[in-house]
Chains A and B, each alone.
Chain A
Amino acid sequence: DAKTTQPNSMESNEEEPVHLPCNHSTISGTDYIHWYRQLPSQGPEYVIHGLTSNVNNRMASLAIAEDRKSSTLILHRATLRDAAVYYCILRAPGNTPLVFGKGTRLSVIA
Chain B
Amino acid sequence: DSGVTQTPKHLITATGQRVTLRCSPRSGDLSVYWYQQSLDQGLQFLIQYYNGEERAKGNILERFSAQQFPDLHSELNLSSLELGDSALYFCASSVSTAPNEKLFFGSGTQLSVL
Which residues of A come within 8 Å of B, CB atoms? Answer: 30-32, 36, 38, 42-46, 49, 51, 87, 91-102
User: Given A32-B99, A43-B92, A51-B100, 6 other A-B contacts at CB below 8 A?
Assistant: A43-B90, A44-B103, A44-B105, A46-B102, A91-B100, A96-B97
Cα–Cα distance between A95 and B56 once the two chains are bound (Å): 6
Contact assessment for B43 and A44 in the assembled complex, using a CB-CB cutoff below 8 Å: yes
Majority secondary structure of chain A interface residues (helix, strand, loop or mixed): loop
Q: Which residues of the other chain, B, contact A43 by a CB distance below 8 angstroms? A: 2, 4, 90, 92, 105-108
Cross-chain contact of B103 among A30, A32, A98, A101 (Cβ < 8 A): A98
Inter-subunit contact B99/A44 (CB<8 Å): no
Q: B55 contacts A49, CB within 8 Å?
A: no
Establish whether residues A93 and B108, one from each chain, have CB atoms under 8 Å apart when the complex forms: no
B58 at the interface (CB under 8 A from A): yes
- With both beta carbons as reference points, the residue of chain B lying nearest to A99 in the complex is identified as B45
Bound CA–CA A51/B100 (angstroms): 8
The minimal Cβ–Cβ distance linking A49 to chain B, given in whole angstroms, is 6
B48 within 8 A of A: yes
How many B residues have CB within 8 A of the partner chain? 26
Bound Cα distance from A102 to B37, whole angstroms: 11
B99-A91 in contact (CB<8A): yes
Known: A32-B99, A43-B106, A49-B102. A97 touches B42 (CB 8 A): no
B residues near A87, Cβ cutoff 8 Å? 43
With A31-B99, A51-B100 as contacts: A98 and B106 at CB distance below 8 Å = no
Chain B's nearest CB lies how many Å from the CB of A2?
12
Listed by A's residue number, 10 A-B pairs whose Cβ atoms lie within 8 Å are A32-B99, A42-B107, A43-B92, A43-B107, A44-B90, A93-B98, A95-B50, A97-B56, A100-B35, A101-B42
Q: A44-B105, A45-B105 are in contact. Are A97 and B58 (CB under 8 A)?
A: yes
Q: How far is the CA of A32 from the CA of B100 in the complex (A)?
A: 6
In whole Å, how far is B49's beta carbon from the nearest beta carbon of chain A?
10
Whether A102 contacts B106 by the Cβ 8 Å rule is no
